[in-house]
Amino acid sequence: MQAIAETLFDAAYLVTVLTLGVRMVRRCRRGQYYLFGVMAIVLGAGDAFHLVPRALALCTTGLENFTAALGVGKLITSITMTIFYVLLYYVWRVRYRVQGRQGITAAVYLLSAARILLCLFPQNEWMCTNPPLSWGIYRNIPFALLGLLIIVLFYKSAGAHGDRAFRWMWLTIVLSFGFYIPVVLWADQIPMIGMLMIPKTCAYVWTVLIGYRAMERELK
């Protein structure tokens, strides 16, 4: 039952974000909504590398027989999620017509590079059954700081510009990290905590929907 329910949920998620992303890219050849569409496609395509092997494992011989595929999928997803936030940063710049602020751009690239570099270290043991928790924490420190930076940027800018369409963008990111961090820290000891990935996934869908609905309103 869990295998069927989880597989259906993951399939619905991937189809939703990829469909919305493709529609945004096709309707907007440039600008913030084009970036948003690319961002959604990166999100869905990256997550597919982890979710598809997981679905196959759950519906066949079990997770323990797909350790390598799941590990590689997690690595790819970790990198694409970082790219997702870099793209979201550029959505912020375009939407609010930000000029200069090169210090913020440097911080975004520095944190992103640190995150990706840490993900590539062999000490992560991606393809092992029980990878070390310590490296799960190390690689997520710059990622969490990147997320915090994006939260602050959208919170301040949406408020300052009276941007109702994007007024909850910051909250979607807060929720995604709020559900993700306990999974990183405690899911191996308490497997039920892994269920928090469901609301975390819903938070990302909300992020994409905010952009898609804003595009629909502007292009009417």
Instruction: Give the tens place of pLDDT for each residue, 106-117.
Output: 999 999 999 999
Question: By the 8 A CB rule, do 114 and 142 touch?
Answer: yes
Task: Read off the pLDDT band of 58 (50, 70, 90).
Answer: confident
What was the pLDDT predicted at 17?
A: 97
Indicate whether 146 pLDDT > 90.
Answer: yes
Question: Tell me, what's the pLDDT at 124?
Answer: 95
Threshold 0.85, pTM exceeds: yes
- Please report which confidence band the pLDDT of residue 57 belongs to, taking 50, 70 and 90 as the band edges: confident
Alpha-carbon distances of 109 from 48, 85, 87, rounded to whole Å: 25, 10, 11
Residue 24's contacts (CB-CB under 8 Å, 6 or more residues apart) are: 33, 34, 36, 37, 40, 211, 212, 215
Q: Is the pLDDT of residue 166 over 90?
A: yes
pLDDT digits (tens, 9 = 90+) for 179-205: 999 999 888 788 889 889 999 999 999
pLDDT category of residue 55 using cuts at 50, 70 and 90 = confident
The mean of the pLDDT values for the chain is 93
Question: Which amino acid appears at position 99 of this protein?
Answer: Q
Closest CA to 45 of 77, 70, 20, 74: 77
pLDDT digits (tens, 9 = 90+) for 4-29: 888 899 999 999 999 999 999 999 88
Assess contact for 120 and 135: CB atoms under 8 A.
no
User: Dihedral (C-alpha) 141, 147, 149, 155: value to the nearest 10 degrees?
Assistant: -150
Concatenating the DSSP letter of every residue in 75-122 gives HHHHHHHHHHHHHHHHHHHHHTT----HHHHHHHHHHHHHHHHHHHSG
pLDDT at 67 (0 to 100): 86
- Token pair 């043991």: residue: 125
The CATH superfamily holding the domain 2-218 is: Rhodopsin 7-helix transmembrane proteins (1.20.1070.10)
Q: Exposed (0-12), middle (13-18) or buried (19+): which is 148, by Cβ within 10 Å?
A: middle
CA angle 77, 103, 150 (to 5 degrees): 40
The share of the chain scoring above pLDDT 70, in percent, equals: 100
Residue 33, burial from CB neighbour count under 10 angstroms (0-12, 13-18, 19+)? buried
